[in-house]
Structure 1
Amino acid sequence: MTSTTTKTLKQIQHDNSVDIPIPSQRKDVKEVVAQWREILRRDWMFKLVGEDVFYVDEGKRCIIRVDPLPGFKYNYLLFVDGKSYEQYTESLSKALKTWEITLNGKSYRIVLEKDTLNVYLNGFLRHETAEFIDGGTETEFEQDAHVFKLTATTSGTKRGIVYTLTVDGTEVPLISDLNMNDKK
């Protein structure tokens, strides 16, 4: 068996950011792992280029395409729901607001779906009800003795709706770039 050099593609899902390891020089196995579980595994010899189709996140069709480059190098492309990886992440960044915070050594990732106002905490849907306040809505919930408060208020200008998250009374900065262009 040859040694494995692993490249990683970042995939954003509505509830999580996951790494998808792609074996780049292994000739006997191809596998895709997302959210710590194996999504795709193919056993074959010497097929280093081509496409593989797999499904994630409630049936989203994904394609990994491996194209040869000069000098025994390979180009990896990821397509999600028929869109290039870049187009898919751009559409997600328009539909979602994301915050990350670490409290007492524990990381929290809060994702808001703007169209439904669904709130996800570390990948799990919170069944919370937004309450109307002056100029918007407020959703409050507790986790690990911390109070999370998410507000959506009108800006009064062309900016539209302003989304704010506070945890234990301290505002958490919004992740404007979902770190989708990280290169490893």
Structure 2
Amino acid sequence: MSNLESDLVATWTVPMSDKVYKIEFEHGTTTGKRILRVNGKEIIKHDWMFKLVGREIFELNGVSIDAVGIFAYEYTLQVGGKTYEKFREQQKKALLIWLVRMAEEEIRICLEKESMDVWVNGSKVETTGEFVEEGGTKTHFELGTGAGAFILSQSSGKRQIGLVHQLYVNDALIRPCEGNEDEAVGRTLWPTGYN
């Protein structure tokens, strides 16, 4: 087992509008070494001989992220002042994500439900709104491949559900990602000490 594998104590996936970030936290519990990686890139590294616990604060897309390992080596992540679990629940309600395969390329499309902003592969795209006769709106945009796409937003007819958003690419209905935010990075490893 390599040193990297033995010191990796927590991995989190953090869904944002532009993409899903994978945060890894290494902690040498006997050496005090702490390394924080975002999508494989090392952003914080400390080799503290005597400081075995503490917190690491960094910013991601203007949101403050706080990786904490304070008591008994329980590792938590706070995003924008919220617990990791609360933040993920909030993002699950706020974002709708589709993965579309076109010409051997996987395209990630994200709808911010409140603002109706559309992101394609990490970039916010220009959209054009149109009211439809059946009620609701079509939000038109183009994919980098030149393909036409739109999101049809209509009332579900149920107060608890609200609007239903459906993505069409070249007039074909695309199903959203199940679980919504993790498919873009794959498997989630729950952090050590997760309750």
- 1:49-78 C-alpha deviation (Å, 9 max, x unpaired): 2211111112x1111011454xxxx43210
1:64 maps to a residue whose letter is A
1:171 maps to a residue whose letter is L
Q: Normalising by structure 2, what TM-score?
A: 0.78
Q: Secondary structure at the match of 2:74?
A: strand
**1:3–1:25 Cα contact (<8 Å) kept:** no
Other-structure match for 2:60: 56
Q: Higher strand fraction: Structure 1 or Structure 2?
A: 1
**1:19–1:34 Cα contact (<8 Å) kept:** yes
Other-structure match for 2:88: 89
Overall identity of the aligned pairs, in %: 27
User: Can you give the 5+ residue segments of structure 2 that lack an aligned partner in the other structure?
Assistant: 191-195
User: Can you give the 5+ residue segments of structure 1 that lack an aligned partner in the other structure?
Assistant: none
1:93-132 mapped onto 2 (5 Å cutoff): 93-132=92-131
- 1:5-48 C-alpha deviation (Å, 9 max, x unpaired): 23421111222111112113384753333356544333433533
**1:100–1:175 Cα contact (<8 Å) kept:** yes
Other-structure match for 1:3: 3
Alignment RMSD (CA, Å)? 2.5
Q: Please tell me whether residue 76 in structure 1 is matched to residue 113 in structure 2.
A: no
- Pick which of 14-23 and 99-108 moved more: 99-108
With a CA cutoff of 8 Å and minimum separation of 6, indicate the structure with the bigger relative contact order.
2
CA distance in 2, matches of 1:23, 1:128: 41
1:178 maps to a residue whose letter is N
Other-structure match for 1:136: 136
**1:39–1:56 Cα contact (<8 Å) kept:** no
CA distance in 1, matches of 2:150, 2:86: 31
Q: Which of 172, 175, 190 is matched with 1:173 structurally?
A: 175
Other-structure match for 2:193: none
Q: Please tell me whether residue 33 in structure 1 is matched to residue 37 in structure 2.
A: yes
The 1:34/1:148 distance shift into structure 2, 3 A limit, reads: farther
Q: Normalising by structure 1, what TM-score?
A: 0.82
